[in-house]
Chains A and B, each alone.
Chain A
């Protein structure tokens, strides 16, 4: 076994080679056209684009398709790669959805920690007014990188949960398109590497939203950022196609739509958003990319033509904001809907009681997904767009509170009178609800035009969306990790460490998000490396210090969790088939789940959440009459 036999290593080598080849191509073409051979911007763009393909070829994600082009049949390979240790398959192209789910999750956790590192760096800079150790440019790049790396981490975390759980929960043998599934994961890797690589070509300083004209004129780092986001977006699109087809066509016998586990509904609604809205962030970034390379006048009113002279009649930056937010508002529901699904999924298990209002929950996910498409301009109240548009967007935004409220009622209704148990996953679920509540309550304040005008572009917004994202994704994701860890590894995590993690992270997060809102009210603007220390009657530095300390505490919690997982994989107690006494299909089969999950086809014989009532949800094996 050599290092070279690891797919990941081959992929990275392929990426580097393709990068250089793409650059060389640009040099040759320019020389042939009689232009100066070296131009950094097109070289990096073409190199970056080709490098994504290079990675995929190197890792082997395209091999089967290349054979199909030649008309060769490629039977699906099962089991670990031959002649190599079993763990190697996690670093290879593998078609089993459980392996792909783990790959997504682990890469997501890696990105979560990378993004966290950027945050800790600039949080440290913010402890005091003035500039201490990060320059302005690096500070700005770190702000943007923190944002986009975290978004990628969330998308990967969502992909991990969806890929691992959806086929198991509906009793399917795998996803509908296993090869596409593997591609969907692997394309994230070169994408995120490009995003990180942007640091070496000047970074990018506009924040994760990449608004032009700034992004149309800044350093080359922008181009790698755009390309990387494009790759991650492609993953969202192919992943959502796969999940929708799997859910619609591969459910086991008796699993009607309204008997699916509620998490599957959440993923289904999420996939509808990912399928459609993602195209718009891809398009808007692509348009800035070509605007920079070819001088096309989409967004920059004074567009730079060939040779960098300013041309007349350029584009309109507001168009970018419309296109961008048409994705990026719905995107926030991509982040939270699966997490809210996890909350609804876990509460009945730990309350030993049916889920309150199953159908309402299922429909509210769809409603949030649909209404989410009608609210994007609430990010643009002060952008200079037509002011008459503000009122309809204010109302449509406030409308989102209705389906969200439905979920809260259902959670409270499920908890009410339940026999509650509090292992770590349940703690994180309750933490999620409490945190999401603050996020949800601050939303309408920002949605109301009159209050948003002073709050826009302040840390109040930062506090708002950290609360929604932690409540809607991070806490439920951690709950899911603890909850399904025994299913994935066959061993129990360390409960004490898990509880310590929870009790460090939850109060720390509350302090962080409320602290961010406080500095916002004091007048702290977003994405600013330096600030006036006299803000908030001179208290602002103290608040910043507290936020930073809280941030470090959260990081400590995450490190504890990762340590717990690595450690318990070796020494944890055997978990058994169903430690949580769940009714869900994946808990009726062995842990870890065998290569072919179900020994015999799954049949649905009852309701999913009838905890505390006789009868089961699913049964394995033939019933005789069907």
Chain B
């Protein structure tokens, strides 16, 4: 039984969509993916405000405020360089493009180290009640996204050194950039939820 008759020869008439149309589809697809992920991150925020309460009052564990401020600033700064990389490739400025990518990846790594080494290394542990659970759950899920973003950036950088991407055709760069901004945006919601909102209680 063959449900699809084979006509491998009649290829010519089905012109593959051109680059522009394919990019429009890709862009829509990527944004839909963000919408989807928004619900997952939203669920984590719900968990945070549901569980970090004491007698109806919103609380938070005492965390290192300096650390939080520094890593947040670094991540925001990295988004600037990501944007610079995208603008650079749109103007065919390859050196600037590659350098900006590396700076973005480096800043992202500093952020990751800040979370994984310093924040996770401080006093709270995952099994320390709701404080530990939510802190590690939220930062862990976010860190996974940062990590995948860094890998993506390095991949784009590597392809860039091999001469891929041009001013006209650089969907790969664009995708990587919006993803990075998106991950950044999520942190803008996570940072106050973890570090600022509610009364600090000793964890």
Question: Which residues of A line the B interface, CB within 8 A?
Answer: 69, 71, 76, 78-80, 86-87, 96, 98-99, 102, 173, 176-177, 180, 237, 240-242, 244-245, 248-250, 275-280, 282-284, 287, 290-291, 294-298, 303, 305-306, 311-316, 319, 322-323, 326, 488-490, 569-570, 590, 592-596, 599-600
Additional A-B contacts beyond A244-B32, A298-B133, A314-B129 (11; CB < 8 A) = A79-B7, A173-B14, A180-B29, A241-B33, A296-B136, A298-B51, A303-B133, A305-B127, A316-B50, A323-B47, A592-B3
Q: Are A249 and B28 in contact (CB under 8 A)?
A: yes
Expressed in whole angstroms, the Cα–Cα distance for A244 and B30 within the complex equals: 12
Q: How far is the CB of B51 from chain A (nearest CB, A)?
A: 6
Q: Are A282 and B40 in contact (CB under 8 A)?
A: yes
> How would you classify the secondary structure of chain B's contact residues: helix, strand, loop or mixed?
helix
- Write the chain B residue with the least CB distance to A173: B14
Question: Which residues of chain B have C-beta atoms less than 8 A from A87's C-beta?
Answer: 1-2
Q: How far is the CB of B75 from chain A (nearest CB, A)?
A: 23
Q: Does B117 contact A (CB under 8 A)?
A: no
Q: Of B6, B25, B36, B43, which is within 8 A of A245 by CB?
A: B25
Q: A86-B6, A298-B137, A322-B46 are in contact. Are A313 and B129 (CB under 8 A)?
A: yes
Q: A294-B126, A294-B127, A315-B130 are in contact. Are A79 and B32 (CB under 8 A)?
A: no
Q: How far is the CB of B20 from chain A (nearest CB, A)?
A: 12
Q: Of B5, B46, B130, B132, which is within 8 A of A595 by CB?
A: B5
Q: Are B32 and A71 in contact (CB under 8 A)?
A: no
Q: A298-B51, A313-B129 are in contact. Are A593 and B5 (CB under 8 A)?
A: yes
Q: Of B28, B40, B130, B137, which is within 8 A of A314 by CB?
A: B130
Question: Which residues of chain B have C-beta atoms less than 8 A from A303's C-beta?
Answer: 127, 129, 133
Question: Which residues of chain A have C-beta atoms less than 8 A from B50's C-beta?
Answer: 316, 319, 322
Q: Are A276 and B39 in contact (CB under 8 A)?
A: yes
- Write the chain A residue with the least CB distance to B33: A241
Q: Are B29 and A177 in contact (CB under 8 A)?
A: yes
Pairs A–B under 8 Å by Cβ, sample size 22: A79-B8, A80-B8, A173-B14, A241-B29, A242-B29, A276-B38, A276-B39, A283-B43, A294-B136, A296-B126, A296-B132, A297-B132, A303-B133, A311-B129, A313-B131, A322-B46, A489-B3, A592-B5, A593-B5, A594-B5, A596-B10, A596-B11
Question: Which residues of chain A have C-beta atoms less than 8 A from B6's C-beta?
Answer: 79-80, 86, 595
Q: Are B40 and A596 in contact (CB under 8 A)?
A: no
Most buried by A among B4, B33, B40, B133: B4
Question: Which residues of chain B have C-beta atoms less than 8 A from A291's C-beta?
Answer: 133
> How would you classify the secondary structure of chain A's contact residues: helix, strand, loop or mixed?
helix
Expressed in whole angstroms, the Cα–Cα distance for A240 and B32 within the complex equals: 9
Q: Are B32 and A306 in contact (CB under 8 A)?
A: no
Expressed in whole angstroms, the Cα–Cα distance for A275 and B28 within the complex equals: 13
Q: Does B44 contact A (CB under 8 A)?
A: yes
Q: Of A295, A305, A569, which is within 8 A of B1 by CB?
A: A569
Q: How far is the CB of A618 from chain B (nearest CB, A)?
A: 17
Question: Which residues of chain A have C-beta atoms less than 8 A from B10's C-beta?
Answer: 594-596, 599
Most buried by B among A79, A242, A244, A488: A79
Question: Which residues of chain A have C-beta atoms less than 8 A from B32's C-beta?
Answer: 240-241, 244-245, 275
Question: Which residues of B line the A interface, CB within 8 A?
Answer: 1-8, 10-11, 13-14, 16, 21, 24-25, 28-29, 32-33, 35-40, 43-44, 46-47, 50-51, 126-134, 136-137, 155, 159, 162, 164
Q: Are B36 and A237 in contact (CB under 8 A)?
A: yes
Q: Of B2, B16, B126, which is within 8 A of A76 by CB?
A: B16
- Write the chain B residue with the least CB distance to A271: B32
Expressed in whole angstroms, the Cα–Cα distance for A282 and B1 within the complex equals: 37
Q: How far is the CB of A462 from chain B (nearest CB, A)?
A: 28
Closest 5 CB pairs of A and B: A79-B8, A313-B129, A295-B127, A296-B133, A279-B40
Expressed in whole angstroms, the Cα–Cα distance for A422 and B51 within the complex equals: 57
Q: Are A599 and B43 in contact (CB under 8 A)?
A: no
- Write the chain A residue with the least CB distance to B127: A295
Q: Are B130 and A596 in contact (CB under 8 A)?
A: no
Question: Which residues of chain A have C-beta atoms less than 8 A from B24's C-beta?
Answer: 249
Q: A71-B164, A173-B14, A280-B43 are in contact. Are A315 and B133 (CB under 8 A)?
A: yes
Q: A276-B36, A298-B47 are in contact. Are A488 and B3 (CB under 8 A)?
A: yes
Question: Which residues of chain B have C-beta atoms less than 8 A from A323's C-beta?
Answer: 43, 46-47
Expressed in whole angstroms, the Cα–Cα distance for A99 and B4 within the complex equals: 7
- Write the chain A residue with the least CB distance to B160: A71
Q: Are A596 and B14 in contact (CB under 8 A)?
A: yes
Q: Are B130 and A297 in contact (CB under 8 A)?
A: yes
Q: How far is the CB of A105 from chain B (nearest CB, A)?
A: 10
Question: Which residues of chain B have C-beta atoms less than 8 A from A80's C-beta?
Answer: 2, 6, 8
